[in-house]
A and B are shown apart, each in its own frame.
Chain A
Amino acid sequence: MALDARGPTGEDRASRPHDEGAQQQGEAQARGEAPGQMKDYFRQKVWLTWAVLCALLGAGFYALHLDFGYVGQKLPFLLGLRLSPDGFIQGAVLTVFVTGCSMVCALVVAFLTALGRLSRNPVSFAIATFYASLFRGTPLMVQVLIIYLALPQVGVVLGGLTSGLIALSLNYGAYLAETIRSGLMAVPLGQREAAMALGLPRWVAAWKIVAPQALRSIIPPAGALFVSMLKDSSLVSLMGLWELNFLAQSYARASYHYMEMLLAAAFIYWGLSIVFEVVQQRLERRFGKGVAARGSHAAGPGPGARNV
């Protein structure tokens, strides 16, 4: 879908101001402007460009002659502000619930898998690689259906929601494991050695030295995975759960308002993923301490200021 939230992702926006910022800093300094002023100038331009692009998008929708009245009528259901007829959460609320639970489980699974892949124990290593290979190599939809339909045949009967959560967690856990593993490996060996030489106990070194540095490289790709998980959570509708995508499609079919319902759902997904992106940016800033300082230092005049 053209309105997929993949367009202006958080990564794009997060990295661009940095590169162009550095370049513009040079230009601005050549013109004799203060660095703060130039930063504001950059931010204004970014917002302005966003506003223009949003206006263009809006104009496009206006040209489609959509029935906004119908959208307004169904919006509370899509957003999940009302419970479904059987009294369960639905719509966007269910989507967020499924994604949130799967995120937590996927993180746990991924962390254990990453440790297994880095382990010297052959059995742990084999289990971790087998799991990661199997779940990365097969389609998510097949996994969802197998867990929901095939497990009952061997006596394990799971509800639709539970099956969906398990499938999403296992699938994304396999991808996330690689992200976490690469993040752990990106921490230079010298850091661990310095911690050892200081006599720090292993868990202190892991928690205070390795984890914060690994997180810095884990957060951006993990953020991208979670945004993608948000949209893949629509697969739980296969098991009769009334999440956002399912509701949009059924309203669309019932009323022939296909464009309205699909666009409304797309915008709700986009809004949610923007929230994810903001959270990701905050975390990046928090764990970028010491690295981000390099940029701000170069911008600010002071003793020992160096150009990067």
Chain B
Amino acid sequence: MDKTSPPLVSLAQLNKWYGSRQVLRNVSLDVLPHERLIICGASGSGKSTLLRCINGLEPHQSGRVVVDGTELTRAPKALEIVRREVGMVFQSFNLFPHLTALENCTLAPIWVRKMPVEEAHATALKYLDRVHLSARAHQYPSELSGGEQQRVAIARALCMAPKVMLFDEPTSALDPVMIKEVLDIITELAQTGMTMICVTHEMGFARRLADRSCSWMGARSSNRERRMSFS
């Protein structure tokens, strides 16, 4: 971990309401390059909302979100720049069902990064190989198991070469065997030095992976960060 470099993701005094209900209260958080942050906490405490504020899937009402030097505002340009640098993996995979695993991976590089098709294919195959699914490249999501789908979703995010990866309960929809295969992939990814923020209920995994973790104190009180050392 590089303690001297500026934070890759920086949240300052972040506040977020759903209607009259406040979900995030004065959250401040810095994530340095190559850092692995695990967020644990009770359901409904705003963990997912926090992740979704980082790439602008949810707008925040006050405070600052800065990703790699770009402040996230409602401006489409800022959203575009930030989303290009932030990869996200969802609890329910959200693969595109009408596209094969390979097409899922090449879509964004071709349309967002304007990558030539052959290059996008090569990149996609490289990342599919990294999640041990290159043999399944031409299959549709419905032909893959849950664990395989989530690994394709990880590869899809990686194809955009993001600077930071957000994992929103990546294993909550999976059975124990599949959980292991997905967690192994995330661990391998962590070993490459990828910056990641992961919301999870898998405490053993959290302990192994995290440099740092925070747990939420619940939605109503302030979402205070509590540093826990696991070593």
Contacts and interface: CB of A to CB of B under 8 A. Distances in A.
A190 interface: yes
Nearest to A194: B94
A208 B111 contact: yes
Interface residues of A, number: 26
Contacts of B75: none
A289 B100 CA distance: 9
B80 A199 contact: yes
Contacts of A193: 57, 90, 94
Interface in B63-107: 80, 83-84, 86-88, 90, 92, 94-100, 107
B21 to A, nearest CB: 20
B61 interface: no
- Dominant secondary structure at the A interface: helix
B83 to A, nearest CB: 4
The residue in B96, B99, B139, B145 that gathers the most chain A C-beta atoms within 10 A of its C-beta is: B96
B213 interface: no
B219 interface: no
A199 B90 contact: no
A297 B107 CA distance: 24
A294 B142 CA distance: 6
B160 interface: yes
Interface string B105-119: 001100110000000
Given A289-B140, A293-B140, A197 B96 contact: no
16 contacts: A190-B90, A193-B90, A196-B83, A197-B83, A198-B112, A198-B156, A200-B112, A201-B111, A204-B111, A208-B111, A212-B98, A290-B98, A290-B140, A290-B142, A304-B148, A306-B145
Interface of B: 55-57, 80, 83-84, 86-88, 90, 92, 94-100, 107-108, 111-112, 139-145, 148, 156-157, 160
